[in-house]
């Protein structure tokens, strides 16, 4: 017992001595200065920021807009076809993932005004830049830009509604498939479930096609290019005279 008492007393004394030394060493070291208090305005701003950060974030989805660009050029009648082919080649060089030629048409008789039309689908992020390239190419061929327009259609609501309808139909299909797999119910109920699955699958396919079509319109902008000639063909002035001379014989015969 004496030995235990001496040991514990020694340990206690050693702990006290160590604590005293630590306190004295700490007293000799000057404590670091306290950080400066923020001004009242900053404290108020921090309070407002903390209150604002505690609010839930509102998801802001970017609008899904399908753009349609239209350009009109006036060029010489004989330059319509070459310019139209040049514009189509510019689109093809970009690759099918960036630009596709939708349609190309030309009309106009020899003695009539020339007219052409070119429709393209261009990736939305390249549409404006490609439109400027079309204008530069037309001006290099001596053509003049006579019209231009940009139209946008917001498809955000239609896409969201279609996605929601698609999800609800998929849930309904899964429930009907569960009924068919478990074979719970009468024969009539199972037959009705099979018919319901077929109808729901048809609605799902239709909703997916709508959704894909709308997303495609957003991803690829439509560009329409119209070409018109500066004047009629060389036979425009003499054609009526030629027709009148040709009809003199039949008219004279009818009079006689």
Average pLDDT, stretch 151-163? 91
Asked if the model's pLDDT at residue 52 lies above 90, the reply is no
Asked if the model's pLDDT at residue 9 lies above 60, the reply is no
User: What pLDDT is stored for residue 73 in this prediction?
Assistant: 95
Q: List b or e across 44-73, with b for residues whose CB sees 16 or more CB atoms inside 10 angstroms.
A: eeeeeeeeeeeeeeeeeeeebebbebebbb
Asked if the model's pLDDT at residue 20 lies above 90, the reply is no
pTM of whole model > 0.75? no
Percent of residues, the chain, with pLDDT higher than 90: 38
**Higher local confidence (pLDDT), 127 or 16:** 127
| Chain-centre distance for alpha carbon 237 | 51
Asked if the model's pLDDT at residue 190 lies above 90, the reply is no
How big is the CA angle at 113 (ends 102 and 106), to the nearest 5 degrees?
20
CB-CB contact of 122 with 98 (8 Å): yes
Of 11-15, 56-60, 149-153, 161-165, the one with minimum mean pLDDT is 11-15
Asked if the model's pLDDT at residue 157 lies above 70, the reply is yes
User: What pLDDT is stored for residue 254 in this prediction?
Assistant: 81
């Amino acid at each position: 017992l004496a030995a235990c008492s001496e040991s514990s007393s020694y340990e206690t004394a050693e702990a006290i001595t160590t604590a005293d030394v630590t306190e004295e060493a700490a007293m000799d070291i000057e404590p670091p200065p306290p950080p400066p208090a923020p001004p009242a305005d900053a404290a108020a701003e921090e309070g407002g920021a903390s209150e604002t950060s505690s609010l839930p974030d509102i998801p802001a989805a970017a609008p899904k807009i399908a753009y349609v660009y239209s350009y009109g050029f006036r060029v010489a009648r004989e330059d319509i076809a070459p310019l139209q082919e040049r514009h189509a080649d510019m689109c093809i060089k970009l690759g099918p993932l960036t630009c596709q030629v939708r349609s190309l048409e030309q009309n106009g008789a020899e003695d009539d005004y020339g007219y052409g039309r070119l429709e393209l689908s261009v990736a939305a992020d390249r549409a404006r830049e490609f439109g400027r390239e079309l204008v530069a190419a037309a001006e290099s061929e001596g053509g003049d830009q006579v019209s231009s327009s940009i139209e946008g259609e917001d498809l955000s609501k239609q896409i969201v509604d279609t996605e929601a309808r698609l999800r609800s139909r998929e849930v309904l299909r899964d429930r009907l498939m569960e009924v068919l797999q478990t074979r719970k119910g009468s024969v009539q109920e199972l037959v009705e479930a099979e018919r319901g699955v077929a109808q729901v699958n048809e609605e799902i396919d239709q909703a997916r096609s709508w959704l894909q079509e709308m997303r495609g319109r957003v991803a690829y902008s439509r560009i329409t290019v119209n070409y018109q000639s500066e004047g009629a063909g060389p036979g425009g002035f003499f054609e009526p005279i030629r027709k009148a001379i040709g009809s003199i014989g039949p008219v004279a015969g009818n009079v006689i």
